[in-house]
Amino acid sequence: MTIVLCGCKEDAKAPDYDNFRADMTLQTVEQINNGQTEQAIKTLKEFRQKAPEDPFPIAASRIEEIRLDAEKANKLLRVGNVNELGLLLQMIETEGNASPEILAFRAAPPALEALAKYCARMPWERSSDITDGLELLRPHSNILKSSSAFNAFMAFQQSKFETMKHDEQLNDIHDLLNRLDRATIGGDAKSVQAAIDALKNKYPHNAFFSCQSFKSSADIAALNINLEGIPHGREALEIAAAIRWDELPPSARRGIAEFVSQTPRTFCGAWLAAMTGGRAASVDFFNRLKESSPLLQPNRKIIASLLKLNAAPPVKDDWSRRSPCPGAPEIIAQILSVGLHNTTNNKQKENE
């Protein structure tokens, strides 16, 4: 009761409410929320002058000053002005206002320089060029990956790399199979084995190595179906069949004859077509050799197989038979003349 009576004297007066601090706090928070960083710093400066004992404007001012410096740095980053960004960071550090947030920007200029060098190398000629370029960016990956635009750019680069790598592998496989194809027609056993080893060292699971086991026409047909959609699968089957031709049973040879009866894709396929398709196919085979670049000359085994298959009477006034030591061109000309000779005789028989 004594306390109540003492507190209810007529001259007792409640202290005035400090509207200034409340108003300044609300005004500052509103400006911060609206992104008015510079205006908020001015308000907080006034707040500190009139209420130096209040800790809020001191702490808030420091946060907003860091935010303002970060906004300036980000603006320079967006336009790629690396030089001015470096000067800004140097000035902030000299004034003693550096913060962890600002110091993080020090990694940006060298990262952007590395990115500029990466882009200067474009467009890429080979996938290995992209790999080498990525080595420039690797030391700066942490800061670069903080950018969503950079991540989208790198996703595109990765897709381009995979496409180029796939195309290069297909071209490489084509070149290795072409080497094996030419070796089978024009080389000896050692060159064929060397070409097989080169293919196996780089692509041990290539379709060529799945074409090593077939004994019948059914096996050939199954392989032909299984290789559909596999890049250069048909070429691999033609070459494998040509290499194994001498050891194949009649059933397998009949199966090969069926799948090379259409347009063959390799020199080996053209030779198989000649072995199973008669003189016209032999002429087509040697025409293909004549058009090859560099010129492919068949080995003795190939020539002997076709001479035996296309044996025919000599053609009158054939210049190639007058050569004392005929080489591959003379032999090819002789086989072509045999084909023409037989074609003419067939037409005469039809007319008769």
Residue 171's CB is within 10 A of a number of other CB atoms, namely 10
Nearest-angstrom CA–CA distance, 230 and 327: 39
What's 166-184 look like in SS3?
HHHHHHHHHHHHHHHHHHH
Does the global pTM surpass 0.85?
no
pLDDT given for residue 54 in this prediction:
81
Of 192, 280, 277, 309, give the one whose Cα is nearest residue 239: 192
What is the mean pLDDT of the segment spanning 34-40?
82
Nearest-angstrom CA–CA distance, 61 and 99: 14
Structural tokens at position 150? 């950079």
pLDDT in tens, 3-23: 444 455 555 555 555 677 778
Task: Tell me the angle at which helices 279-290 and 267-277 cross, rounded to the nearest 10 degrees.
Answer: 160
Backbone phi and psi for residue 70, each to the nearest 5 degrees, phi listed first: -65, -35
DSSP helix/strand/coil, 210: helix
Give, in degrees to the nearest 5, the angle at Cα 282 between 281 and 285: 85
Residue 322 DSSP class:
G
343 to 286, 309, 310: CA distances (angstroms)? 16, 15, 12
pLDDT given for residue 90 in this prediction:
83
More confident residue, 1 or 64: 64
What is the distance of C-alpha 49 from the center of its chain?
Answer: 63
What residues have CB less than 8 Å from 41, skipping those under 6 apart?
Answer: 61, 64, 65, 68
Residue 166 predicted with pLDDT over 60: yes
What is the mean pLDDT of the segment spanning 234-245?
93
Number of H helices, E strands in the chain: 18, 0
More confident residue, 101 or 192: 192
pLDDT given for residue 314 in this prediction:
53
